[in-house]
Structure 1
């Protein structure tokens, strides 16, 4: 298929299925006596059926409930028991919360898989699926290989917890999401169990949990190189440990998309299939921008039917990797749908993809980017909101060293570009950022992809090797994968900067920048030639009937998603971000859920040590019929010196007017590689 006609984004709601369905809330017992809260949708049948498991900490009784209702009943209506389980210490599950993907979480997950396989309504075959956290632990539990687990569908997840997650990028601290996500999880883990599901003991469960809370940011900043902490749960350490069938799905606007390429490279053809579309960090049937959306549930049903029922659905006859290559488009912070085409490759790396190298030209350039370079980077985790994607890059390009290459005929890129740069650095620490942009004849600059290298990790992510000042070295690093077509008459622009705030926390002394010598420097693009490769089509998206959550508008209206303020006299730049995860929601069962968050990033344009971040969360869970009114307020901040990160966190929890928990944490963490 070569059609560029996009599918409609809005999914069709299905109310009739091959099977009637029933739903029940249950407790999954673990060997240590802890029980996990679960919700099960099952088909009405006397025959045992395969089981699908989604396992994550995001509270099935409220936060993910609208999303859960779009897919779990759909799977049940097609002959599967579909189960949603809250991780230990979260939602209405018992036990204490731990670190993300810790050994306890994964061991519990293996127990859940085995327990579900043994249910009388189970055929004994289990699949796991999930997006982000649920996609991560699907991969990680698959690497532990419990016998009943026959297949997984992992969406927007990573095989490398150090270099392809929310913590570090190219060996550099991800200021934008290292902090924001740690602060988000601090707010999430501080939410109480719901008395409607756990009864009068909710407050005792809550306070015991709160006593066990420790902000994730402490651990994450304690490990600034790729050590054993990050190797745990990184399936790239041993792909062969995964025995289940793997359908890996990602989007070119999701930061985890390179995992799909690596899984396609390292897992056998008979075990793995991959799909990369134009999407953000969302399931690709939800109709959120950018589209086009696809019939993702139908595609996964083909996967489950093959691996869990033994049906010949033709899913393994599909190309190993199906990828969307976007046509050129003007810069914008949101696209309803992107123009483009699907292509298929029977193997990866593909014989259809060849490197095309561009040598940089010109005299040596001193690159000394202002510290606020990067404010137009867009959101690290696009969720389909209006201000997610990078605007016109001309302002960012003006703060960078730029090299341009004419496009006499269309260049279709598929994969991970690579740069080699000859640098002379006057100081021991720093970072280099490379962006590839599509420059139209009118001069507009659309960001295509980017990459980062912490100069101290140039010899490997587990290494911390300071630069010998005033010496020259060649550094090579990959940029994030992309599918993009540069049309004839456009220009390919490589922009190189020494700063990228707030994505990358600046190194002490990095205001000195570096000298880039074009001689010996190059940009290498993976260019896909030939035909698209197969008649690639997807059904239109469909979902089960929605839960019926109401999202009321507040009187004052929403604040700006991304607001940038410049203090001209101080040379200070402040960016305020409303992540817009969900806001105020009214649930059909009477729950009133209010959520407000604001992230703040501040830097002085000439001082890397002025960098500071702050995240504030306010959450209220209210059940008027039960007289339940729980409040959570959190604050988290990071500042720095040349030698330390300084973190400050605070949690205040109330039952009505009564303060049931109040704690602050202050830590000074040495800057080793960060």
Structure 2
């Protein structure tokens, strides 16, 4: 918070001469007159902090004007855009914010247009009121845009982003400065567009963005089939501009000149050649998998992921405001961007899944855009870069670095009988577990939240009865865990391969088991390598040549980094680690008969444990 100073208001009345006193009285009277509006107005209080902003700029525009048109790309493909220009305020050139979406820039629902501004609580209304034009574009092969799509984030799609930025900057209503915003796909495309190094693109606000798509499609080498199948179906309906009940899918809005709908129909026909994403995912089972493309060059995960373009993103100099959630699939990536890239950047992580967000989101966007699109020195760039929420204590805190400076990675060991302890067992032992293929993390998880369905993690106590669990005694004091827990599992199995799922839970005194984090790994992809980005965590390259089948009965170490977490386990609660061999509602695990039997080592030289990031 930046507070103004007002001369004459703070005074020491003791030990003053009469002349100094009279002078002070006169100064005080003048200050009071200014505050009262006699002869002037007092400078408004300047406040700039997360979720709060005043005194630096004001919402001077009372409405907006919407136009819709086609913009030709360099190859002639016509992209549909909606332009929202501020109205009811000063007439001047303004910065613009670009949104690129495959989910319809606007739709027609029961004869009514639904667009960015339809919801009275829309953050875009706030952003426009502060003097920003917004341009929302249908990505080629989607909505009302022409063209076809090969996969997602193809080079030509990314190239379109630069063409759109150039077009916006050249408009007579734009001052040449362009930013971007959006969530999920709309976030990833911002990083990809930044890699174009277009000088007009000054800053981006990606909310829930992946770094490497392989870690989402095949986390730990296991196909996230539920999301892939649901997403592919939704995209086919959207790209076909169909109305699909009972889900909320409606046709795209035509551009203004397309009064009869013939242009929308022609564009939709071109969408029929779009790639089947389920087929594509089945062809790209490893991080180094590649597929042939219509433009004659093979395409793999690095091509279609920010991780393959980090050098160009850095060179662009684009300022970045990363936003994420502890329950999002991209929570680790949100923190990775901040740690890895040298760009001027900030990161906010709250207790959100993919469908939720910061209450002060709109004003945070204004703060960031004001600084990097209008050059207003509001101090947002001087704040500590990490703004993180801690569950359990329900507090927000600013931090200078991630992992936190006072983090103490502490091993908690598995013990015979299902106990979890901070001291290593003196004797060597083991726990056996027969894989139950009905185990699940639930039908509404962080994984399916990617499709817009909010996550709802229920009590895992019953599910834990089907898993292999290790639980601490009730805690004697509150315990904060903030960072990346890492499992070191020493295990043998009766099968040549298997999927391993690990869950971190907060168990209350009443036995309620609350999900906090998870990780997973296909054992044949257990080989470790150097993580190409920060922070330095266990990393599985998952190349095709890395496949190593298990030798039944031979003990191996599986190292699994869980999703980051910031949580206070309360006094009287217990910490639980739960292990399973399947997540039937989310991941595709081959079912073997008979079911494999695991032997988990506890104690001795092969003592299984989980490294916990404890904050003392």
Counterpart residue number, 1:22:
65
Counterpart residue number, 1:492:
575
TM-score, with structure 1 as normaliser:
0.69
Query: How big is each residue's C-alpha offset from its partner over 1:638-668, in whole Å with a ceiling of 9 and x where there is no partner?
Result: xxxxxxxxxxxxxxxxxxxxxxxxxxxxxxx
Counterpart residue number, 2:12:
none
Are 1:416 and 2:484 matched, yes or no?
Answer: yes
State how 1:274-313 maps to structure 2 within 5 Å: 274-282=347-355, 284=357, 293-313=358-378
Query: How big is each residue's C-alpha offset from its partner over 1:62-86, in whole Å with a ceiling of 9 and x where there is no partner?
Result: 1894555413332221111111111
Counterpart residue number, 1:57:
102
Contact 2:70 2:255 in 1 (8 A): no
TM-score, with structure 2 as normaliser:
0.76
How far apart are residue 147 of structure 1 and its match?
A: 1.5
Match for residue 500 of structure 2 among 417, 432, 436: 432
Instruction: Name the SS for the 1:188 alignment partner.
Output: helix
Instruction: Name the SS for the 2:287 alignment partner.
Output: coil
Contact 2:322 2:348 in 1 (8 A): yes
Distance 1:385 1:98 in 2: 23
How far apart are residue 296 of structure 1 and its match?
A: 0.8
Distance 1:231 1:195 in 2: 34
Counterpart residue number, 1:517:
601
Match for residue 305 of structure 2 among 222, 234, 241: 234
State how 1:372-383 maps to structure 2 within 5 Å: 372-374=438-440, 376=442, 378-379=444-445, 380-382=447-449
- Gaps spanning 5+ residues in structure 2: where? 2-50, 52-57, 243-251, 291-299, 417-428, 528-539
Counterpart residue number, 1:42:
85
Distance 1:143 1:515 in 2: 47
- Gaps spanning 5+ residues in structure 1: where? 2-8, 10-15, 285-292, 328-338, 530-674
Are 1:259 and 2:333 matched, yes or no?
Answer: yes
How far apart are residue 96 of structure 1 and its match?
A: 2.2
Counterpart residue number, 1:156:
208
Could you say which structure has the higher helix fraction? 2
How far apart are residue 427 of structure 1 and its match?
A: 1.8
How far apart are residue 438 of structure 1 and its match?
A: 0.6
Match for residue 318 of structure 1 among 371, 376, 383: 383
Match for residue 181 of structure 1 among 231, 250, 265: 231
Query: How big is each residue's C-alpha offset from its partner over 1:226-254, in whole Å with a ceiling of 9 and x where there is no partner?
Result: 02511113223453321311100011222
Counterpart residue number, 2:279:
218
Contact 1:152 1:247 in 2 (8 A): yes
Contact 1:278 1:326 in 2 (8 A): yes
Instruction: Name the SS for the 2:602 alignment partner.
Output: strand
Instruction: Name the SS for the 2:415 alignment partner.
Output: coil
Instruction: Say if 1:186 and 1:368 are closer, same or farther in 2 by CA, change over 3 A.
Output: farther
Counterpart residue number, 1:209:
270
Contact 1:117 1:123 in 2 (8 A): yes
Contact 1:129 1:154 in 2 (8 A): yes
Distance 1:89 1:234 in 2: 19
Distance 2:149 2:115 in 1: 24
Match for residue 179 of structure 2 among 105, 127, 140: 127
Instruction: Name the SS for the 2:472 alignment partner.
Output: strand
Are 1:358 and 2:412 matched, yes or no?
Answer: yes
Instruction: Name the SS for the 1:226 alignment partner.
Output: coil
Match for residue 473 of structure 1 among 543, 556, 561: 556
Distance 1:214 1:241 in 2: 27
Distance 1:117 1:412 in 2: 48
Contact 1:225 1:464 in 2 (8 A): no
Contact 2:502 2:577 in 1 (8 A): yes
Could you say which structure has the higher strand fraction? 1
Distance 2:435 2:83 in 1: 54
Match for residue 394 of structure 1 among 452, 455, 461: 461
Instruction: Name the SS for the 2:190 alignment partner.
Output: helix
How far apart are residue 415 of structure 1 and its match?
A: 2.0
How far apart are residue 195 of structure 1 and its match?
A: 5.5
Distance 2:106 2:308 in 1: 35
Counterpart residue number, 2:615:
528
Instruction: Say if 1:405 and 1:237 are closer, same or farther in 2 by CA, change over 3 A.
Output: farther
Across the aligned residues of Structure 1 and Structure 2, the Cα RMSD in angstroms comes to: 2.4
How far apart are residue 98 of structure 1 and its match?
A: 3.3
State how 1:598-637 maps to structure 2 within 5 Å: none
Distance 2:449 2:372 in 1: 32
Aligned length: 494
Distance 1:508 1:383 in 2: 26
How far apart are residue 94 of structure 1 and its match?
A: 1.8
Contact 1:424 1:472 in 2 (8 A): yes
How far apart are residue 341 of structure 1 and its match?
A: 0.5
Instruction: Say if 1:465 and 1:191 are closer, same or farther in 2 by CA, change over 3 A.
Output: farther
The structure with more radius of gyration: 2
Query: How big is each residue's C-alpha offset from its partner over 1:241-298, in whole Å with a ceiling of 9 and x where there is no partner?
Result: 2131110001122211111111121123x611000011222352xxxxxxxx421111
Instruction: Say if 1:389 and 1:39 are closer, same or farther in 2 by CA, change over 3 A.
Output: same
